[in-house]
Amino acid sequence: MLFFKRCNVEINGSGLIAENANINSSNSLTPAWMVGKIGAGNITPNGPLRTTIRIDYIPETNREPNHGIANLIRALADDSTWSGVNIAIGGITGYECYLDNYTLKCAPNDIVKSSATYTTFLQLSGVLANQTGTHLVRNNIAHAWGLYIVGSGTNLNDIYDFDYTFNAAWEPVYKIGQKTPIAVRLMNGNETFAVTRDTFYRNTFSGETLYSGVITNGTDYGIDVFNLNAFISGSGIAPLNLNFSGAKITNVSVNASVNDIVRVKTEAIKYF
């Protein structure tokens, strides 16, 4: 029996402060029907082995592997040079895992929460086994108090919450007679930004940018997420940077509920 206190969660050897980790491995099968027979004659493979790994965790600004991986994927000039990462959870390892989805969620007076979802088309290895449990929590946890507009140092004090999402679509390439892909290609990707305020902004035309309509601060097109220690002491580890330059507004929604202020959520997207 493996208890959570002895279950390490690591990406390329870098430990995460994980709150939940899930591995789901599935086969794609189809029944073979035939004339003159009641019921399926057989059940045969109809697609690749696919394993999805999802991790919910608390990000640290000094070691946040998924933020760095998302930046590398976005900047790829040749996706054939990228072969994914290795992920280990409680002694089980997935190889050549490709990042599908990565999120950062910031709420008032709270630590930042993150999640990452990966897919691998190779078989898993290892068995459940006690780990060292040596990942130490330090003062580098990202916190909503440490959200600033890049360059100006302006705190996002007029925003109630901020969500960031990274998405990438991968397609495995197979040859006849092979169970594993000869390559995994990046088809497309996007980043979405969602900001909630108490001020209504009227989206006036298609293609309006987020920074011109919502975060108006000259030519600063990004948000820095600092850790709690940096906010308190005024110094510390470099922040996580989220660049929304080129993001175009897609949706503005107003929500009025009993016993609450009226909230306005603005969403924007950019592609790579």
| Contact criterion met (CB below 8 Å) for 148 and 155 | yes
**How many angstroms from the chain centroid is the CA of residue 42?**
39
Higher pLDDT among residues 232 and 205, named by residue: 205
Q: What is the pLDDT of residue 167?
A: 98
Encoding tokens for residue 59? 């990000």
222 occurs within a structural domain: yes
pTM of the model: 0.89
| Contact criterion met (CB below 8 Å) for 84 and 260 | no
To the nearest whole number, what is the mean pLDDT of the chain?
A: 86
The average pLDDT across 142-168 equals 78
The distance in angstroms from the start CA to the end CA of the chain is 44
Q: What is the pLDDT of residue 217?
A: 54
Encode 239-260: b = buried (16+ Cβ within 10 Å), e = exposed.
bbebebeebebbebeeeeeeee
35 occurs within a structural domain: no
Share of residues in the chain with pLDDT > 90 (%): 49
106 occurs within a structural domain: yes
Range of the domain at 177: 4-27+44-271
Q: What is the pLDDT of residue 218?
A: 54
39 occurs within a structural domain: no
Please classify residue 111 by burial: count the beta carbons closer than 10 Å to its beta carbon, then call 0-12 exposed, 13-18 middle and 19+ buried: middle
Whether residue 136 is predicted with pLDDT greater than 60 in this model: the reply is: no
36 occurs within a structural domain: no
> What is the spatial distance between Cα 45 and Cα 29, in angstroms, rounded to a whole number?
4
201 occurs within a structural domain: yes
Q: What is the pLDDT of residues 35-58, one digit of tens each?
A: 888 888 788 888 889 999 999 999
> What is the spatial distance between Cα 95 and Cα 125, in angstroms, rounded to a whole number?
8
The average pLDDT across 183-195 equals 95
How many distinct structural domains can be found in the chain? Answer: 1
CA max distance for the chain:
78
167 occurs within a structural domain: yes
266 occurs within a structural domain: yes
| Contact criterion met (CB below 8 Å) for 158 and 197 | yes
The average pLDDT across 172-198 equals 93
